[in-house]
């Protein structure tokens, strides 16, 4: 039993040390000289350039403050929602124009439904006649 306890404690301490040693200063909660910023990902770099925080991806420093990334992400979210709202309005206008032109041609959902049922009844009558 004593060997098992010794083995268990040595394994847990090794795992604990490995987890501590593998983390960079940015991943720990300890405030060090390099923990003042975050290393932006490619998507975050794109967002920083799209929101005009930097002129190009090459100008983005290796570490950027979290506050700057959050503000850029919020601005990007607002821009994207505005673009989606504009596209929705344009799609609605397109649907209205398409519906009005179809109404001028005499097409309607009601007429299409009547035509479908008429065709279905004719096919059914033909099938009944061939069975007799």
Least confident range of 11-20, 23-32, 58-67? 23-32
Nearest to 26, CA basis, from 9, 5, 41 = 41
Would you tell me how many other CB atoms lie within 10 Å of the CB of residue 51?
18
CA angle 45, 48, 52 (to 5 degrees): 140
The pLDDT tens digits for 89-101 are 999 999 999 999 9
Would you tell me how many other CB atoms lie within 10 Å of the CB of residue 26?
13
**pLDDT over threshold 90, residue 5:** no
Confidence grade of residue 131 (pLDDT, cut at 50, 70, 90): confident
In this prediction, residue 132 carries a pLDDT of: 74
Q: What is the pTM of this model?
A: 0.56
Cα–Cα distance, 101 to 107 (Å, whole number): 9
Domain ranges of the chain: 1-36, 37-107
């Amino acid at each position: 039993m004593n060997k098992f306890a010794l083995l268990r404690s040595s394994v847990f301490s090794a795992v604990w040390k490995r987890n501590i040693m593998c983390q960079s200063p940015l991943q720990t909660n300890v405030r060090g000289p390099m923990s003042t910023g975050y290393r932006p990902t490619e998507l975050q770099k794109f967002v920083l350039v799209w929101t005009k925080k930097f002129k190009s991806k090459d100008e983005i420093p290796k570490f950027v403050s979290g506050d700057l990334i959050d503000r850029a992400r919020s601005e990007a979210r607002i821009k994207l929602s505005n673009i989606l709202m504009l596209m929705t309005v344009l799609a609605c206008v397109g649907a209205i124009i398409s519906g009005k032109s179809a109404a001028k041609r005499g097409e309607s959902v009601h007429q299409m439904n009547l035509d479908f049922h008429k065709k279905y009844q004719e096919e059914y009558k033909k099938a009944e006649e061939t069975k007799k």
